[in-house]
Amino acid sequence: MEYPSKAVQKAVESFKSLPGIGNKTAVRLVLHLLKQNSDSLKQFELAVEGLRTEVKYCQTCFNLSDHERCAICSSQNRDQGKICVVQDVRDVLAIESTGQFTGAYHVLGGVISPMEGVGPDDLKIAQLVDRVKNGNVSEIIFALSATMEGDTTIFYISKQLKEYQVQITTIAKGIAIGGELEFVDEITLGRSLLSRIPFDV
């Protein structure tokens, strides 16, 4: 399509490069921005610029951070001895939003996947082993996807951690809260039967 303005065209193409945004949505977003006043457009620019210039990765847990060490890793209120191992930054946000975890994190940056050419050296596994080796880590909690790749990654890391005094756990797999039993797939249902837990009255 021929756009009436080169600047508009450039903006539409930039927005189109974002995931899940096609041509029509990109045009809608750009026209929305054009309707804003100069100040809020400037705010938007600064926010995007901030992503490039201000955001770092925590050198301990590889979570997003404004500093060399993220707020969670440097907090006195978090149990630094419990490390929850996750695939990426989004999982940290998801777990934080539950408000159920008071330990620290370790962001692997992916899972081992020979199909996609991701090996152990592409992930922050050595850094996790170092944390266990150096510090007072009592528990490693794996919160990875319940897939073949996730399980492979847990198995690989667990073997590396075998020689250290550290408890290894994974988050529970079973039926979702509020889920109707008849719609649960049989593998999950079978597994949730095998991993049944005592019910205390």
- What does the binding site for a copy of itself look like in residue numbers (CB under 8 A)? 1-8, 10-11, 13-14, 17-21, 25, 27-34, 38, 40-52, 54-56, 58, 63-66, 70-72, 88-90, 92-93, 96-97
Smallest distance from a copy of itself to CB 127, Å: 17
Q: Report the alpha-carbon distance of residue 13 to residue 21 in Å, rounded.
A: 10
Of 27 and 166, the one with the shorter C-beta distance to a copy of itself is 27
Host H or E run for residue 81: strand 79-86
Smallest distance from a copy of itself to CB 91, Å: 11
Smallest distance from a copy of itself to CB 112, Å: 19
Of 21 and 129, the one with the shorter C-beta distance to a copy of itself is 21
Phi, psi values for residue 8, rounded to 5°: -65, -45
Smallest distance from a copy of itself to CB 39, Å: 10
Q: Report the alpha-carbon distance of residue 144 to residue 128 in Å, rounded.
A: 15
Query: Are 168 and 158 spatial neighbours (Cβ–Cβ below 8 Å)?
Result: yes
Of 95 and 137, the one with the shorter C-beta distance to a copy of itself is 95
SS3 (DSSP) at 146: coil
Of 65 and 80, the one with the shorter C-beta distance to a copy of itself is 65
* Cα 66 to Cα 29, 38, 127, distances in angstroms: 28, 27, 20
